[in-house]
């Protein structure tokens, strides 16, 4: 949150919450019960300050970093990357694949179909997020691009697992997957 306020400038608690709510990452919580207590804790620690402002007809608060908050952010960013961050990340999907031999072939197929469907849906959400961030900010885009590459890798992994087990995965049907007409079949529009 300190980094969001530092990079995006003073923001209302609602604007900060919206960043978390709009994230395609299911690990982030944008719930009011998470964000507002965090803002309160950071304020008590004097890492942020809230200034009363008008947002439309309502009073609101603009949150900005204090000098201590800026220093805490710089310290966090300067820390060397620990092994648990640089190494292979924990992956419950990969862990489950390790133990697929414990279930029947039909259940393995159902598991793979479900995992494929869900990862494809997340891939689409991350693709859309990546496109939204492309024009906004180079670093937001690079973060989104990292998420996109990670999701593409997970999908490729599931394809390999399915192929190794002789399971055919069904494509996720979305409106944007419909074939577009070619020039030959495209209807002519009167001008």
pLDDT of residue 125: 92
- Using CB atoms within 10 Å of the CB of residue 87, give its burial: 0 to 12 exposed, 13 to 18 middle, 19+ buried: exposed
Residue 112: domain span: 83-172
In order along its 191 residues, the chain shows pLDDT tens digits of: 899 999 888 888 888 888 888 888 887 778 888 888 999 999 999 999 988 887 777 888 899 999 999 999 999 999 999 998 899 888 999 999 999 999 999 999 999 999 999 999 999 999 999 999 998 889 999 999 999 999 999 999 999 999 999 999 987 554 444 433 333 333 333 32
pLDDT of residue 23: 84
Residue 145 lies inside a defined structural domain of this protein: yes
22/123 Cα distance (integer angstroms): 15
- Same domain (yes/no): 71, 97: no
Residue 182 lies inside a defined structural domain of this protein: no
- Same domain (yes/no): 138, 115: yes
Residue 107 lies inside a defined structural domain of this protein: yes
19/136 Cα distance (integer angstroms): 13
Residue 110 lies inside a defined structural domain of this protein: yes
Number of domains in the chain: 2
Residue 70 lies inside a defined structural domain of this protein: yes
- Same domain (yes/no): 146, 125: yes
19/104 Cα distance (integer angstroms): 42
- Same domain (yes/no): 90, 160: yes
- Residue after which a domain boundary falls, among 15, 40, 75: 75
- Same domain (yes/no): 131, 54: no
pLDDT of residue 110: 95
pLDDT of residue 176: 47
Residue 178 lies inside a defined structural domain of this protein: no
Q: Which DSSP state fits 45?
A: T
pLDDT of residue 172: 59
Q: What b/e sequence results for 122-156 when a residue is b if at least 16 CB atoms lie within 10 Å of its CB, and e otherwise? A: bbbbbbebbeebeeeeeebbeebeebbeebeebbe
Question: Which is nearest to 4 in space by CA: 39, 33, 34, 31?
Answer: 39
- Same domain (yes/no): 65, 97: no
pLDDT of residue 189: 33
31/35 Cα distance (integer angstroms): 6
pLDDT of residue 173: 56
- Residue after which a domain boundary falls, among 52, 75, 98: 75
């Amino acid at each position: 949150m300190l980094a969001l306020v530092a990079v995006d400038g003073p923001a209302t608690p609602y604007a900060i919450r919206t960043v978390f709510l709009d994230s395609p990452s299911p690990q982030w919580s944008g719930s009011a019960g998470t964000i507002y207590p965090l803002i309160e804790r950071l304020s008590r620690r004097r890492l942020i300050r809230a200034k009363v402002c008008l947002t439309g007809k309502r009073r609101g608060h603009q949150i900005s970093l204090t000098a201590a908050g800026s220093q805490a952010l710089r310290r966090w960013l300067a820390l060397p990357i620990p092994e648990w961050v640089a190494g292979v990340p924990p992956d419950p999907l990969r862990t489950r694949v390790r133990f697929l031999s414990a279930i029947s072939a039909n259940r393995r197929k159902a598991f793979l179909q479900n995992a494929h469907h869900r990862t494809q849906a997340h891939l689409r959400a991350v693709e859309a997020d990546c496109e939204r961030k492309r024009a906004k900010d180079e670093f937001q885009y690079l973060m989104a691009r990292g998420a996109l590459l990670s999701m593409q890798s997970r999908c490729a992994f599931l394809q390999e697992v399915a192929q190794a087990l002789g399971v055919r995965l069904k494509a996720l049907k979305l409106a944007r997957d419909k074939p577009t007409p070619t020039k030959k079949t495209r209807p002519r529009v009167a001008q």
